[in-house]
């Protein structure tokens, strides 16, 4: 990867009376006219080194696999020739190849792979007689780099080393899915393979699979409207959530204990009942979820280790929508609160002590999150006629910045969906121009120029809340000096404070260079702040 260093020379343009970084740029008008070549609801993609493979529609070939390389979009291959689409989905990257499913009139549903070239885009397995409306979309990669998927209630494994596809027998019907009412998967990685859930009548069964399947445990739910989701490998075994609209006894968090092979309800701290909310993907040792009787919590399967990360319990969650979140560098960034005209983004390492406010965007309605390296990206104000903001943050450092805020009068922008990072640019899908339709845009990243290592960080991090700055650090408090500079380098303010003490800024809302100096070193960062 190219080495990039944090520089103190920046270029800005003035727009609408406020200073911004680079303006968003249309990458290409893939479908000329108002319809657009990108669907924000189908923004999945996979990295192939620095390249990105995804599905798009040029209006001539239908939705087909494309590649983004050096800022240029090109069609990989027209799998289903002509205007009919192949509907590629499930993109996942393993061993310098991307795998996905697609449909064509000759092979029907097929499992495809690509090395990023047209000649290297080939089919691995076809399912004769199948239809486009029922093709695999959820692929899970085990720690041993096998790829598992389901099709028509059967389980399959792709050996990424040989690219052979095998059926893995199971006595139950197997269907990988993301639950639509309570977003979260029915499968996860487990040991060297995967784990998954099935139902047979009122009996819930938990399985593990490698080359073969093995029943781990079963549980009689006596439920008719059962929903199960959020399957997660944790330190003590496997955790998940289960609900039933007409059987409150089922509504709970559950743990399969790998030591005694038991499957039983798991209560969060002192609760006697649970009100299951959502789960979020974190790592292979803890489940992080929302229980509306407790708040946001983390669990590893040991009741003594369960921690409440935030006691906030949203009174309303949008049906079918997950909590926006993303894991990177051992930290989870997630949307905690969204009410009134503000939202709060938290960062956590899975412990109460390691949970803190990461950002407070000035607009509500949050997009999905994406990450690259240590940095997480998202947009706020993406619905209901707000002026959108684009944000980036380093959860492990506890820092965040607004990259760009659309000026007043931009309220016709219907959405912003972060897509990928390539060559120091953030790419996102948006309908910025009604005459163009949803297309791919890019914006230069200036605030964190190195996605792998931010230099001159020392041990300080800057938390920016409106017109307040707080300098955080590990260990004991110390006296520090905060210096504020405008973008031309003119020194504006000095503040001598203790770390952890908020500083109220008497500066107008703008982009500033903040320099922190103390016993632990020196740290410099650009922030969008003021009043």
Identify whether residues 394 and 502 lie together within a single domain: no
For residue 295, being part of any structural domain is answered with no
* Domain-located, residue 250: no
Q: What is the pLDDT of residue 184?
A: 80
428 and 512: one domain? no
Strand-pairing partners, residue 200, are 203
Least-confidence region, from 131-145, 158-172, 186-200: 131-145
> Averaged over 394-402, what is the pLDDT?
88
Considering the domain architecture, whether residues 465 and 519 belong to the same structural domain is answered as: yes
Share of the chain above pLDDT 70, in %: 89
331-370 per-position pLDDT tens digit: 999 999 887 677 899 999 999 999 999 998 888 889 999 9
- Residue 253 domain flag: no
Is residue 451 within a helix (H) or strand (E), and if so which, with residue range?
A: none
CA distance 309 to 361: 20
- Please say which residue of 440, 455, 470 terminates a domain: 455
Cα distances (Å, whole numbers) of residue 477 to 179, 353, 473, 497, 517:
46, 16, 8, 10, 13
448 with 510, same domain: the answer is no
403 & 505 share domain: no
Q: Provide the residue count of the chain.
A: 531
Question: Looking at residue 97, what is its pLDDT?
Answer: 96
End-to-end CA distance of the chain: 39
Listed in sequence order, the residues at least 6 apart from 70 whose beta carbon sits closer than 8 Å to its beta carbon are: 422, 423
Give how many domains the chain has, as a whole number: 2
Average pLDDT over residues 457-470: 74
Angstrom distance (rounded) from CA 172 to CA 251: 24
Are residues 428 and 449 located together in one domain of the fold? yes
Same structural domain, 328 and 451: yes
**Rounded distance, CA 317 to CA 171, Å?**
36
Q: Work out the number of other CB atoms within 10 angstroms of the CB of residue 144.
A: 13
Give the other-Cβ count within 10 Å of 409's Cβ: 8
Q: Which of 425, 455, 485 is the last residue of a domain?
A: 455
Instruction: Clarify whether residues 437 and 336 are in a common domain.
Output: yes
Judge whether residue 324 has pLDDT over 90: yes
What is the CATH number for 505? 2.60.40.10
Show the tokens assigned to 493: 């303010």
In a domain, 520, yes or no: yes
Q: Are the CB atoms for 87 and 102 separated by under 8 Å?
A: yes
Sort 504 into a burial class: Cβ within 10 Å, 0-12 / 13-18 / 19+.
exposed
For CA atoms 302, 303, 309, 310, the dihedral sign is positive
Residue 530 has pLDDT above 70, yes or no: yes
- pLDDT attached to residue 487: 63
Residue 118 belongs to some domain of the structure: no
Place 434 in a pLDDT band, splitting at 50, 70 and 90: confident
The strand ranges marked E within 62-185 are 63-69, 72-75, 89-94, 97-104, 108-114, 122-127, 140-141, 146-151, 154-159, 164-168
The token pair that represents 205 in the structure block = 């069964």
Do residues 428 and 487 both lie within one domain? Answer: no
Q: Closest Cα partner for 144 from 159, 166, 155?
A: 159
494 lies in some domain: yes
Using the 3D structure, point to which of 455, 482, 507 is the last residue of a domain: 455
* Whether residue 330 is found in the same domain as residue 388: yes
Which of the 8 DSSP states describes residue 134? S
State the DSSP code for 185. Answer: B
Question: Does 428 reside within a domain?
Answer: yes
**pLDDT of 270 over the 80 cut:** no
| Burial of 10 (C-beta count, 10 Å sphere; 0-12/13-18/19+) | middle
CB 513 within 8 A of CB 505: no
| Of the candidates 337, 460, 344, the residue with the CA atom closest to the CA atom of residue 399 | 460
Q: Per the structure block, which two tokens stand in for 139?
A: 């692929």
Q: Are residues 497 and 406 in the same domain?
A: no
- Is pLDDT above 90 for 192? yes
Does residue 329 sit in the same domain as residue 440? Answer: yes
505 within some domain: yes
The angle at the Cα of 327, spanning 95 to 418, to the nearest 5 degrees, equals 85
Alpha carbon distance 161, 290 (integer Å): 38
Closest CA relative to residue 464, chosen from 377, 359, 361: 359
User: What is the pTM for the complete model shown?
Assistant: 0.81
Domain span including residue 498: 459-531
């Amino acid at each position: 990867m190219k080495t990039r260093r944090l520089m103190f020379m920046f270029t800005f343009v003035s727009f609408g009376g406020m200073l911004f970084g680079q303006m968003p740029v249309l990458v290409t008008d893939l479908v000329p006219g108002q319809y657009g070549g990108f669907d924000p609801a189908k923004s999945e993609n996979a990295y192939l080194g620095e390249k990105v493979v995804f599905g798009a529609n040029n209006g001539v070939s239908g939705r087909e696999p494309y590649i983004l390389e050096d800022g240029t979009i090109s069609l990989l291959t027209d799998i289903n020739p002509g205007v009919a689409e192949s509907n590629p989905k499930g993109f996942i990257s393993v061993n310098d190849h991307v795998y996905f499913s697609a449909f064509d009139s000759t092979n029907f549903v097929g499992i495809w792979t690509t090395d990023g070239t047209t000649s290297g885009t080939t089919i691995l397995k076809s399912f004769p007689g199948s239809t486009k409306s029922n093709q695999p979309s959820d692929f899970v990669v085990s720690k041993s780099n096998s790829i598992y998927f389901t099709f028509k209630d059967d389980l399959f494994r792709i050996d990424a080393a040989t690219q052979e596809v095998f059926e893995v027998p199971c006595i139950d019907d197997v269907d990988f899915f993301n639950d639509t009412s309570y977003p979260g998967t029915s499968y996860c990685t487990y040991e060297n393979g995967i784990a998954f859930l099935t139902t047979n009548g009122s009996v819930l069964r938990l399985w593990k699979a490698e080359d073969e399947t093995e029943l781990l445990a079963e549980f009689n739910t006596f439920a008719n409207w059962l929903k199960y989701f959020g399957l997660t490998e944790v330190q003590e075994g496997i955790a998940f959530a289960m609900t039933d609209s007409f059987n409150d006894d089922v509504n709970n968090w559950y743990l399969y204990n790998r030591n005694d092979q038991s499957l039983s309800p798991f209560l969060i701290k002192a609760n006697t009942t649970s009100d299951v909310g959502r789960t979020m993907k974190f790592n292979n040792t803890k489940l992080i979820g929302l229980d509306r009787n407790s708040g946001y919590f983390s669990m590893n399967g040991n009741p003594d280790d369960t921690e409440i990360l935030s006691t906030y319990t949203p009174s309303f969650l949008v049906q079918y929508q997950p909590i926006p979140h993303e894991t990177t560098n051992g930290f989870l960034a997630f949307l905690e609160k969204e009410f009134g005209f503000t939202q709060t983004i938290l960062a956590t390492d899975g412990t109460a002590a390691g949970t803190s406010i990461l950002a407070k965007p000035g607009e509500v309605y949050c997009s999905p999150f994406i990450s690259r390296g240590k940095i997480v990206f998202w947009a706020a104000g993406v619905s209901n006629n707000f002026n959108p903001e684009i944000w980036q943050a380093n959860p492990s450092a506890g820092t965040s910045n607004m990259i760009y805020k659309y000026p007043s009068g931009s309220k016709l922008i219907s959405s912003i969906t972060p897509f990928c990072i390539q060559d120091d640019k953030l790419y996102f899908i948006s309908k910025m121009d009604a005459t163009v339709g949803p297309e791919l845009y890019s914006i230069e990243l200036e605030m964190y120029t190195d996605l792998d290592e931010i230099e001159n960080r020392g041990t300080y991090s800057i938390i920016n809340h409106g017109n307040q700055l707080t300098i955080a650090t590990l260990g004991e408090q110390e006296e520090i000096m905060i210096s504020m500079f405008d973008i031309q380098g003119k020194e504006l303010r000095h503040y001598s404070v203790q770390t952890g003490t908020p500083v109220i800024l008497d500066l107008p809302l703008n982009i500033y260079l903040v320099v922190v100096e103390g016993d632990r070193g020196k740290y410099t960062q650009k922030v969008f702040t003021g009043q």
